[in-house]
């Protein structure tokens, strides 16, 4: 069965997503769309130039929404990073641009007949993911944001560097908004299957500092090169691959939480049709309060900008 992925937006993130997909052979067909025709055409030609030196072949289509009708996954990477300030970390700076663009993109997706899984990277992730579901009319389980899949990875890196272990030996989640109201749910975090709360007591770990490091990880990268791309692109492609392979992988992604009536990041099982089921966590009372606070913040902004 042919694997088909669409990438909307060919900026720093979208082009990195496309390169990862092509270089790793994750799709048989790739549809690249951007309002900057010269840029997206150039990226497509550049990727085709790479193929003679790759062990895979990917057929690339440019700026044709109708080609998304039978796409398995569409990744939204549209945005305007120049709206971000080099002095602060606020993903809502892009909202005036992305909230306008999402309506047009959603309409184009509806017209194409697309009925796959829509993965949103565009910021502010949880709000834009909610808008995509609202404007496309796709089932809620088929509209997902990368959310704190990236922030959780940043937390795993923070912990692994502190303890000098492989980050894949650390497990746990950052939850809530992909933004400043997110938090590390330390009750979920283990290192070599040992609760980090026990390790913190033994080794005097500063959990608050690591939580802050994960939250501010994106700004650290942004302040150095004025954009981020590798971390979020890898998260998006990992999520797309979970859909393509029906892997039933648990990931902390932005998905609709019926009890909170909002899109935010919480672990969910990802398969062929997107979210298969939510994973129940035994959070502490403090963590539950933080999750509710994050949910309230996202909902207020969805309402404000709808």
Superfamily of domain 4-145, CATH level 4: NAD(P)-binding Rossmann-like Domain (3.40.50.720)
13 known member of a binding site: yes
Architecture of the domain spanning 149-305? Alpha-Beta Complex (3.90)
- The reply to whether 34 sits in an annotated binding site is yes
Three-state DSSP at 124 gives: coil
Q: Is 86 exposed, middle or buried (0-12, 13-18, 19+ CB in 10 A)?
A: exposed
Q: What percent of the chain has pLDDT over 90?
A: 88
Residue 119, pLDDT > 60, answer yes
Q: What is the mean pLDDT of residues 88-98?
A: 73
Q: Where in the chain is the domain with CATH 3.90.110.10?
A: 149-305
- The residues annotated with a catalytic role in the active site are 178
| Per-residue pLDDT tens digits for 167-220 | 999 999 999 999 999 999 999 999 999 999 999 999 999 999 999 999 988 888
Q: Give the list of residues 6+ apart from residue 106 with CB closer than 8 angstroms, or none.
A: 131, 132, 135, 136
pTM of the model: 0.95
Confidence (pLDDT) at 297: 95
| Whole-number Å distance between alpha carbons of 30 and 237 | 13
Domain(s) of CATH 3.40.50.720: residues in the chain: 4-145
Q: Helix 230-244 crosses helix 12-24 at what angle (to 10 degrees)? A: 50
Annotated binding-site residue? 121: yes
Looking up tokens 């998905």, which residue turns up? 255
């Amino acid at each position: 069965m042919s694997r088909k992925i669409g990438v909307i937006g060919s900026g720093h993130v979208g082009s990195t997503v496309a390169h990862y997909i092509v270089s790793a052979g994750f799709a048989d067909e790739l549809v690249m769309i951007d309002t900057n025709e010269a840029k997206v055409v150039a990226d497509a030609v550049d990727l085709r130039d790479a193929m003679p030196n790759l062990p895979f072949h990917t057929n690339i289509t440019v700026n044709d929404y109708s080609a998304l009708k039978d796409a398995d996954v569409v990744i939204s990477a549209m945005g305007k990073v120049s709206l971000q300030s080099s002095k602060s970390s606020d993903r809502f700076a892009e909202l005036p641009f992305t909230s306008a663009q999402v309506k047009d993109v959603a309409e184009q997706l509806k017209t194409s007949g697309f009925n796959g899984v829509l993965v949103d990277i565009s910021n502010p992730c949880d709000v834009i993911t909610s808008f995509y579901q609202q404007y496309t009319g796709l089932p809620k389980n088929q509209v997902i944001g990368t959310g704190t899949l990236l922030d959780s990875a940043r937390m795993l890196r923070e912990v692994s560097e502190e303890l000098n272990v492989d980050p894949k030996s650390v497990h746990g989640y950052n939850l809530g908004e992909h933004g400043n109201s997110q938090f590390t749910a330390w009750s979920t975090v283990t290192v070599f299957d040992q609760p980090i709360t026990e390790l913190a007591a033994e080794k005097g770990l500063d959990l608050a500092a690591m939580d802050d490091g994960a939250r501010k990880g994106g700004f650290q990268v942004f302040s150095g090169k004025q954009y981020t791309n590798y971390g979020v692109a890898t998260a998006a492609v990992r999520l797309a691959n979970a859909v393509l392979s029906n892997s039933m992988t648990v990931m902390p992604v932005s998905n609709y939480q019926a009890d909170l009536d909002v899109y935010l990041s919480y672990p969910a099982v990802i398969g062929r049709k997107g979210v298969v089921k939510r994973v129940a966590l035994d959070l502490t009372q403090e963590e539950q309060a933080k999750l509710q606070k994050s949910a309230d913040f996202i909902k207020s902004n969805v309402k404000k900008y709808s």
